[in-house]
Structure 1
Amino acid sequence: MPAWLDTLAHFHFLRPWWLLGLLPAALLVWAVRRRGDVRRRWRDTIAPHLLDALMLGERRRLALRPVHLTALLLALGTVALAGPSWRQERPPFLDDKAPLAIAVDLSHSMDAIDVTPTRLERAKLKIKALLARRDGGRTAIYAYAGSTHLVLPLTDDASLLQTFAEALQTRIMPVPGRDMAQALRVIDADLKHEPVPGTILFLTDGVDPAAATAFRAQADSGRSQPVVLALGTEQGGPLRNGAGGLVEQDGARVFARLDVAALERFGDDSGVPVATFTPDSDDDVAWVQRHVQSHLEQMQAGDRTRWKDEGWWLVPPLALLAMLWFRKGWTVRWSAGLLLALALAAPPEARAQSSAPATQASAVRPWRFVDLWLTHDQQGRRAFEQGDFARAATLFEDPMWRGIAQYRAGQYAQAVQSFARVDSAQADYNQGNALARQGQYRQAAARYRQALRRQPQWPAASANLALMEKLLAQQLPQEKPDPDDGEEPPDLPPDQVKYDAAKPSAPGGKSLQVVLTQDAEMWMRAIQTTPTDLLQRKFALQHGQAAPAQDAR
């Protein structure tokens, strides 16, 4: 369906009763025209054949008169007040709720230099651009080849994400290959505990046709949405080795080429969005972000969404038409002008004090020229849409929007106070979010319970309440360990770990494996190394622990 047809299908008025104001506009034109009809006033007194001779200078053409301008102003103002709308606006916390997991392919072909400097390095640049667009959205990074490993869990710390993304190298993977199906299972298992559906972005230079069935099932599941962005060229390029040279086999350089036809077949078979990167722009990054947001909007369709009021588009033509009132020869109501002048001449302090009872919770703001044209809430909304949340919080008079701006600005304590002034389920939920950000999990859980009492069927509130209860359970004081149970205190230095040789191990050597795992984790925390080497050792340990578990099964 064309875009204009889709817009027309969704067009409606938010406040249709205001359209009744069109009737006075039409009646005004009719009444003024009827009053100025000289022929009508004399037709009962003068014979029609004489009246025709007496009518001199009668206007036979349509002339634009002030009444027409007044009627047009009334009509446009009525339509604007009726709230024309044809699209929905995203909820204020939409970006905060949209998790994204980035799965980076670390197979050897990602070292191809057909893309400057390499495919992997270009993938890191795309991650950097994507993090800048997400503006604090929670993101996780995974690495996969023949095995899949978590690099960094969901976080909104862009600098930390960028640090670990830069540390990715193909040499750190313990198993070669490209197992996309396993990567999809591992990442989906981690994201299924999120209160809202997420998106899994695969940055790769090739696809596994055998994984198309798993991707199709994932796309139809209604959970996390897979998206594939391929890097590389059809012409391909040689592979670069770790020493900076080129990989050769039997005296010939090894080339890696992007199979575009295989990508298209994979997209058709799996039903997931597939695209190739754009080398000279970030259009591919914008494409990914649109899929992240649209997937969440589809999953949350009808859940606390609202239509956007587009009536403000009629304000400029209304202002231009109003300027014609000052045209020479047109009627000007000097009384209205005098009242406006008196209002403008009032001292700013008086105007601020007159509005103080309605905004007792907010500080008295100095009067500004923009206050003549926009309310404080409208000014706050403009600052909010520009990303200046701290300034928006000082402008909003509506406590809900002020709290949302304070939340976005990181002013969580102030946001709690603002949300507390609104008596609704949404306000309770927002209070819970702000309290959770401050680490006040018990108070946050109480707010989520109150929100669920008012709106029982609320998946996001239920999931957040479960998370708070889990965090509270973790904060409970742990029982003092028995010195004979074989567990070491958490603050014991690595070189003081001792093993009880006389104590028998459990069947299968599980106790020894647990001790070795704890020893390895403490050793990894104690060593000084680069993030790349740290990830390489971590992945090797994880793969070594997974192998015995698979053999046991």
Structure 2
Amino acid sequence: MFVLEEEKYFWLLLIIPVLMVFYALLFYWKKRKQKQFASPEMLKKLSPDKSWFKPGLKFTIMLLALASMCIALVNPKLGTEMETITREGIDIVFAIDVSKSMEAEDVAPNRLEKTKQLVTQIINNLASDRIGIIAYAGSAFPQLPITTDYGSAKMFLQAMNTDMVSSQGTAINEAIEMAQTYFNPADPTSKVLVIISDGEDHIGNVDEVAREAAEQGIRIITIGVGTAKGGPIPMKRGGIVQSYKKDQNGETVITRLNEETLSDIAAASKGEYINGNVTAEVTEKMTEFLQDLDKTQFDDRQFAEYQSQFQWFLGLAIILLLVDVFLLERKTAWIKRLNLFNESRNKK
């Protein structure tokens, strides 16, 4: 497994395209000046040993050396040893509403992006708990199984969008049913399902499904994202708002936060409802709720020892620089003797 220690140095790679543009402009400028000085045939006679190929090769070698040095600064590390670590925590599954109503902008920047911010902050406050992610709209599907890899969880989270599920609606009942498959019923670990939604246009008998989940030891926390005043649902193309969703009468549809539904779901499972408009309050209440739950020890296998690999890239950069130093721009004598292009040796 690879780990990048200093990812910020990847920005140095932007120097490479800048140098390529500069080199292309310089090459064009030199060609123009040479044409003003003499014809191509005359230039060949004036500098018969000059290679047209080697200057570009030297420049390419220099760019490869620069890229190798940048990667060396990043210092990629390779996991070399797996170790079983005993952790203590709880299992948390996040069920995230990705229906079109989550694009409403009654909370900034919109409901879905606000949801991502909330989940990211909650994850940042966790220590050794296991987490999973479910996405749902008119149906639910698994996004990330239970894991302790918070980095992967954040990556999957940021990739979520309202085009992931073709069927629209808010099938909270399906999300709850799928969450039950994430948890091991025989495992004594405390189980928490966090549902983040605007609660609108929900499908199915959610309260009954929530009670069934509670019987399996799953506590449900619901987080409402949106406002009672609500907002229109933007219809976007290429990330640009083209219009707003309208009903059959041509009136603009206003989507509003349904706190009652979300509160009922939480109450049915002896959980808690949290208004999600203020991130700090959400993380505080989540922390308080999770602290009151019993934590269970479990074994987790992960890479425990990483070895730096920067020396390979640094060595490659040094070799490339040495090649660049000893590679002259004039034609190589033994290649010239091969007469690859059948040039007349007696040509004057």
| Structure-2 residue corresponding to 1:142 | 134
* Aligned 1:501-520 pairs, distance under 5 A: none
Supply the AA of the counterpart residue of 1:296: D
Give structure 1 regions of 4+ aligned residues with deviation exceeding 6 angstroms.
none
The 2-side partners of 1:95 and 1:276 are apart by 31
- Residue among 162, 166, 175 paired with 2:167: 175
- Residue among 220, 223, 230 paired with 1:226: 220
More strand per residue: 2
**Aligned 8 A contact 2:131 2:147 in 1:** yes
Asked if 1:121 corresponds to 2:121, the answer is no
The 2-side partners of 1:99 and 1:253 are apart by 41
**Aligned 8 A contact 1:99 1:139 in 2:** yes
* Aligned 1:379-390 pairs, distance under 5 A: none
Aligned-residue offset at 1:277: 1.1
Asked if 1:216 corresponds to 2:211, the answer is yes
The 2-side partners of 1:142 and 1:175 are apart by 15
Secondary structure in 2 aligned to 1:134? Answer: coil
| Structure-2 residue corresponding to 1:294 | 292
Supply the AA of the counterpart residue of 2:189: V
Q: Given the superposition, is the C-alpha separation of residues 136 and 113 from structure 1 closer, same or farther in structure 2, using an over 3 Å criterion?
A: same
The C-alpha deviation readout for 1:381-437, integer Å capped at 9, x for no partner, is xxxxxxxxxxxxxxxxxxxxxxxxxxxxxxxxxxxxxxxxxxxxxxxx99xx48x54
Determine which structure has more spread, i.e. the larger CA radius of gyration. 1
The C-alpha deviation readout for 1:151-209, integer Å capped at 9, x for no partner, is 11122222221111111111110322222222111111221254513211001110647
The 1-side partners of 2:275 and 2:177 are apart by 23
Instruction: Give unpaired runs (5+ residues) of structure 2.
Output: 1-84, 305-348
The 2-side partners of 1:182 and 1:260 are apart by 19
Secondary structure in 1 aligned to 2:155? Answer: helix
The 1-side partners of 2:193 and 2:254 are apart by 28
Q: Given the superposition, is the C-alpha separation of residues 222 and 94 from structure 1 closer, same or farther in structure 2, using an over 3 Å criterion?
A: farther
Asked if 1:132 corresponds to 2:124, the answer is yes
| Structure-2 residue corresponding to 1:202 | 195
The 2-side partners of 1:437 and 1:125 are apart by 27
The 2-side partners of 1:116 and 1:137 are apart by 29
More helix per residue: 1
Supply the AA of the counterpart residue of 1:199: V
The 1-side partners of 2:287 and 2:134 are apart by 18
CA RMSD, aligned part only? 2.8
Asked if 1:259 corresponds to 2:254, the answer is no
The 2-side partners of 1:144 and 1:94 are apart by 33
| Structure-1 residue corresponding to 2:230 | 236
Supply the AA of the counterpart residue of 1:189: T
| Structure-2 residue corresponding to 1:42 | none
* Aligned 1:520-531 pairs, distance under 5 A: none
* Aligned 1:245-324 pairs, distance under 5 A: 245=241, 246-249=243-246, 250-268=249-267, 271-279=270-278, 281-296=279-294
The 2-side partners of 1:121 and 1:273 are apart by 22
**Aligned 8 A contact 1:136 1:158 in 2:** no
Aligned-residue offset at 1:224: 2.1
Secondary structure in 2 aligned to 1:282? Answer: helix
The C-alpha deviation readout for 1:136-164, integer Å capped at 9, x for no partner, is 43211110112211111122222221111
| Structure-2 residue corresponding to 1:161 | 153
The C-alpha deviation readout for 1:50-92, integer Å capped at 9, x for no partner, is xxxxxxxxxxxxxxxxxxxxxxxxxxxxxxxxxxxxxxxxxxx
Secondary structure in 2 aligned to 1:199? Answer: strand
The 1-side partners of 2:86 and 2:286 are apart by 16
Supply the AA of the counterpart residue of 2:235: N
Larger RCO of the pair (alpha carbons < 8 Å, separation 6+): 2
How many pairs align? 212
Aligned-residue offset at 1:128: 1.0
**Aligned 8 A contact 2:92 2:191 in 1:** yes
| Structure-2 residue corresponding to 1:190 | 182
Aligned-residue offset at 1:95: 6.9
| Structure-1 residue corresponding to 2:103 | 111
Supply the AA of the counterpart residue of 2:206: A
Q: TM-score, normalization: structure 2? A: 0.55
Supply the AA of the counterpart residue of 1:211: V
**Aligned 8 A contact 1:129 1:285 in 2:** yes
**Aligned 8 A contact 1:105 1:203 in 2:** yes
Aligned-residue offset at 1:269: 5.0
